[in-house]
């Protein structure tokens, strides 16, 4: 089973950059997109529903903002468009495709980089989402939660970690939250199961030729329940074409499709 996750930084922008020409050659079973930034009535062209996939979009109430999507070769039993947050569900940050014994979700966690009010909102999101993840661990099914988590977990996960200790995305509180995710709650960072190398990033600033110099952050993850953590077979970050300011994260699992 191959799952791809990508923060598209605007689905229409990614389309112009060749995402839908690139996708058919990837043989993905499930594709999770974040930051689609379009209402569904704005993406009526057939390219936004690729052949061979069942496509599900979730739009934010605010136009041009946030948004997530899931494409799946197999039709899900159902699609969940909320994680139960009165504050954040309107921002379209979570969509989950439910299959027998398995759920695959696309997550777009808030960024706090625009200032203190958004960082406080991010902390509220973390608290609510941790409660949701506790419930997930009690369910008799495996989970893959793909997406832009907007946190670099460890020093290895960003180039200039010393200069970012006080910046959103690498704050001690955020990193401690990730510690709890993996250590206390038992989730697994699927990429790190098979790739322990440094300088493996998924996002680069558009300033200062950061991508050319590989001065980046690893903030896109596929976070899985323990049963799937034992079934990770391969992982890659695709950097051949610039489809977004993020790169697609591609992971293969030993799981029936």
User: pLDDT tens digits for 207-251?
Assistant: 889 999 999 999 999 999 999 999 999 999 999 999 999 999 999
* Percent of the chain clearing pLDDT 90 (strictly above): 97
Give strand ranges (E) for the chain: 2-7, 30-34, 54-58, 68-72, 78-80, 94-99, 102-108, 142-148, 188-189, 203-204, 216-217, 220-224, 232-237, 249-253
Q: How confident is residue 9, by pLDDT bands cut at 50, 70 and 90?
A: very high
Q: What is the pLDDT of residues 30-58, one digit of tens each?
A: 999 999 999 999 999 999 999 999 999 99
Mean pLDDT value across residues 89-101: 97
Q: What is the pLDDT of residues 152-205, one digit of tens each?
A: 999 999 999 999 999 999 999 999 999 999 999 999 999 999 999 999 999 999
* Percent of the chain clearing pLDDT 70 (strictly above): 100
Q: Residue 217 is part of which domain span?
A: 2-253
Domain count, the chain: 1
Cα-based angle 242, 248, 249 (whole degrees, multiple of 5): 150
Total-model pTM? 0.97
Q: What is the pLDDT of residues 114-147, one digit of tens each?
A: 889 999 999 999 999 999 999 999 999 999 999 9
Is residue 148 part of the annotated active site? The answer reads yes
Residue of 29, 59, 148, 252 marked active site: 148
For residue 244, what is the domain's CATH number? Answer: 3.60.10.10
């Amino acid at each position: 089973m191959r799952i791809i996750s990508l923060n598209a930084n605007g689905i229409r922008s990614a389309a112009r950059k060749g995402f839908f020409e690139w996708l058919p050659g990837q043989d993905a079973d499930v594709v999770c997109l974040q930051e689609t930034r379009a209402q569904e009535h704005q993406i009526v062209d057939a390219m936004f529903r690729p052949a061979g996939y069942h496509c599900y979009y979730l739009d934010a109430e605010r136009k041009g903002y946030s948004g997530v999507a899931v494409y799946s070769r197999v039709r899900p039993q159902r699609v969940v468009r909320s994680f139960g947050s009165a504050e954040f569900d309107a921002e379209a940050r979570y969509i989950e495709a439910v299959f027998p014994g398995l759920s695959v979700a696309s997550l777009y966690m808030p960024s706090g980089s625009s200032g203190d009010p958004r960082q406080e909102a991010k902390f509220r999101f973390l608290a609510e989402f941790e409660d949701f993840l506790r419930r997930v661990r009690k369910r008799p099914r495996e989970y893959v939660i793909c997406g832009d988590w907007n946190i670099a977990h460890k020093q290895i996960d960003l180039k200039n970690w010393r200069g970012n200790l006080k910046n959103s995305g690498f704050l001690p509180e955020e990193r401690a939250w990730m510690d709890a995710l993996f250590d206390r709650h038992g989730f697994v960072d699927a990429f790190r199961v098979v790739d322990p190398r440094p300088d493996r990033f998924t996002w680069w600033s558009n300033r200062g030729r950061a991508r050319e110099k590989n001065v980046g952050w690893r903030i896109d993850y596929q976070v899985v329940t323990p049963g799937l953590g034992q079934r990770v077979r391969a992982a890659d970050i695709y950097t051949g074409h610039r489809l977004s300011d993020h790169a697609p994260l591609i992971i293969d699992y030993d799981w029936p499709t």
